[in-house]
Structures are given as structure tokens and as C-alpha cells.
Amino acid sequence: MARTGKAEWGVRLRRRDVLVPLATAALVLVAWQLVVVFGIVPNFLLPSPTQVVSAIVEDAGLLAQHSASTVVEALLGLVIGVVVGSLVAVAMDRFEGVALALRPLVTVSQTIPTIAIAPLLVLWFGYGLLPKVVLVIISTFFPITVSLYAGLSSVDSDLIDLMRTMGASRWQIFWQAKMPAALDQFFSGLRISATYAIVGAVIAEWLGGFAGLGVYMTRVRKSFSYDRMFAVIVLISVLSLALMGLVDLIQHIAMPWKRAEGNSNHD
């Protein structure tokens, strides 16, 4: 009976976690619609949610094509950014001199706005795929580097000393002690990078390109089609949430002990 009661309580909590955000989003949309309908904000400045949905439906095919280009740029840049950031973090953890040398450079790399770098990348690499991918890499590698380095550095030194006394190699210490302890922080950084990836690709597309949501937004802005501009904003949010969901799925697969902890909490 006690276990059944805990299970029912867990189901109620999960339902609340879903229903409360959905209800809040619905209230925001209703308020937005009423603000436009009653003329509190002029319709030509702020389209209603129904107009935004209508714009998405009308331009569904075109938006799908541009979204595909943006997703390809974002995924390529994100994957390369994760690889580069992980290698830098591992090197910083392994060699103290590398950490001392690269830590200031990694921090400084994030003080330069991406909107300021994008025009230079277009001038250097043209209007093709490369400048978009490079900008996404610049945008995404920092959260990965910082989070993974912090996770690797946070491993209990007593555990490492114990493994050394038992004859474990550096490779075994890294894979069996450091990486499992650092994965939680790594995936936290990866979620942030996933949101930066789509935004970085769109920013690069604003300044030059042949396809992508940024290119589409630039074109509709010139015709003052605010409903279509809001449609792009909605799509950017949806794509970012989808990438974050993919990260959560990968974390679920990569960290089975977290699943075990969650199951034990529900029992």
C-alpha cells in the first residue's frame, strides 16, 4: 500500500510538472491575443498568435527548407564545438601549464559579441556554409569547456589516490573516475550550447547567406511582415527545445545510474 501511494504521488507530480507550464503558456497566449484584439498594442506592430500560426501554415514549405539549412549548420557547429571544447577541457585538466595558458583565452573568447565576429567571418570565408559553422563553434565550445573542466577538476582526490595505490593507470582513472563524475556538468554545459547553436547559426545567416531562418527573417523584415518574423522566432524556440530534448535523451542513455536513482526515488 505504501509503495502504491508513493507511485500515485509520483504520477501526480509528473502531471503537475507538465500541466502547470502548459497552463501558464496558454494564459500568456490568451493575454497576447486579447491585447491585440482590443487594440492595446497596434496590430501592425504586434501580430496576434493566430496571425503567427497562420503565417507558419502559409509558408510551411518555405520555412521547412530554411529550417533544414539552419539545423544542418547548427548541428555541424555543435558537434565540432563539443569535440574542440572537450579536448581543450581534458588538456587543461591533464596539464596544469595548459590550464594556466588557455583559461584566460577561453574566457576572453566569450567577451567578444558574436554579432561583431560574424561580419568578419563572412568577409574571410564567403557566404557559404563555413562561416555559419565557425560562428556556431565559437558560440558553443565555451560552455562545454568550462563545464567539463569543472567536472573533471571536482573529482575527489582521495578516490584518485586510492586508485593509484591499487595500480590504476591514468587512462583508467580518467574513464572510471573522472568522466562519470564530470558527465552531469558536461551535459549541463551541452544544454546551454544546444540553445546557442541555433541562435548562432541564425545570427550568421543575418549577415549573408542563401538559405536559413536568418536569411528568411531578413527578407520578410524588409517587407515589414511582422507575423512572419514572429513565426521565425517561434521556430527558433522550437528547434532549440528540440535540441535540448535530444541532449536530455543522450544523457538518459549515457548515465544509466541516474535512471537507477530516479527509479529508486519513485519506489
CATH number of the 48-256 domain: 1.10.3720.10
What is the average pLDDT value for the chain, to the nearest integer? 82
81 residue type, one letter: G
| Contact (CB, 8 A) for 186 and 255 | no
Going from N- to C-terminal start, the domains of the chain cover: 1-46, 48-256
Summarize pLDDT for 215-249 with one digit per residue, the tens: 888 888 877 788 888 889 889 999 998 999 899 88
Q: Which of 46-50, 75-79, 128-132 has the highest mean pLDDT?
A: 75-79
HSE-up (13 A, CA, CB side) for residue 203: 22
CA-based radius of gyration for the chain: 23
> Which stretches of 98-238 are assigned E, i.e. beta strand?
none
**pTM for the whole structure:** 0.81
Instruction: Centre a 10 Å sphere on the Cβ of residue 149 and count the other Cβ atoms it contains.
Output: 26
Under the banding of pLDDT at 50, 70 and 90, the label for residue 1 is very low
Place of cell 546551454: 192
